[in-house]
Amino acid sequence: MFAEYGVLNFWTYVAGAIFLVLIPGPNTLFVLKNSVGRGVKYGYQAATAVFIGDAVLMFLAYAGVATLINTTPVLFNVVRYLGAGYLLWLGIKMLYTTFSHRESSPVQSAKKERGAVFKRALVLSLTNPKAILFYVSFFVQFIDVKSAHPGIAFFILATVLEIASFCYLSLIIFTGASLTRVIGTRQRLAKVGNSMIGLLFLGFAARLATMQ
């Protein structure tokens, strides 16, 4: 399928893309957190930023920028430490917010968070060096470099990945939103959930900073 456009082993790619999308990571956790804490609207704000961030990274991979980062240790380390620092900041912020006793009204909270969720998710997505490595190393295995239109093949593979990501994140969003009522009436449960997500972000930051 799509062999005439330079795509190799399309269904093998689809299976691999779905498997990789299902692996939990910072983006998934951030979308889940906002879905549980704020509902479907904020969940899709975070998810939209992830889609845009992934699209930008895929375009950069096609343009060759990602390959440059991959082959230049200094540039890759800059992206890696930026990503680790941002994950660390998010984790600390989540833990601080969870255990601080300051509360704001729903209206004040909504105004404060307006646009912030999208920006945080976008930065989180764009500073993920593992995504850069994935788009460089994984995509090229399924593109016929001798094809007359390799850009079309790259676009097809990118579209498939975005669709798989959309379906999975939509499931995460609606599942998380369905838990909002339960968690909203159980503050202790909400604190435990937010604390676990915050600690996971700290763990992702440590792993990213120490990866080789």
Task: Tell whether 37 is covered by a domain.
Answer: yes
Residues near 45 by Cβ (< 8 Å), separated by ≥ 6?
Answer: 34, 117, 118, 121
Query: What pLDDT score does 74 carry?
Result: 80
Which of 187, 58, 39, 191 is closest to 126 using CA atoms?
A: 58
| CA 192 to mean position of chain CA atoms | 23
Considering the domain boundaries, does residue 107 fall inside one?
A: yes
Cα three-residue angle 113-117-120, rounded to 5 degrees: 125
Look at residue 54 and tell me if it is in a domain: yes
Whether 12 is covered by a domain: the verdict is no
How does DSSP classify residue 139? G
Tally the domains of the chain: 1
Q: What is residue 194's predicted lDDT score, i.e. its pLDDT?
A: 65
Q: Is residue 112 in a domain?
A: yes
Tell me, yes or no, whether 6 lies in a domain.
Answer: no
Query: Is 0.75 surpassed by the pTM of this model?
Result: no
Q: Is residue 9 part of a domain?
A: no
Q: Across 26-134, where does the E strand assignment appear?
A: none
Does 24 map to a domain? no
Q: Over its length of 212 residues, how does the chain's per-residue pLDDT go in tens digits?
A: 788 888 888 998 898 888 878 877 788 888 888 888 778 888 999 999 999 998 988 888 788 766 776 677 787 777 778 767 877 877 787 777 767 755 444 444 444 565 788 888 888 888 876 676 667 677 777 888 677 777 888 899 999 999 999 999 999 999 888 776 555 545 565 566 667 767 776 876 787 677 65
- Calpha distance 132→172 (Å, rounded): 24
Query: With contact defined as beta carbons under 8 Å apart, do 208 and 80 qualify?
Result: yes
Residue span of the structural domain in which 158 resides: 33-210
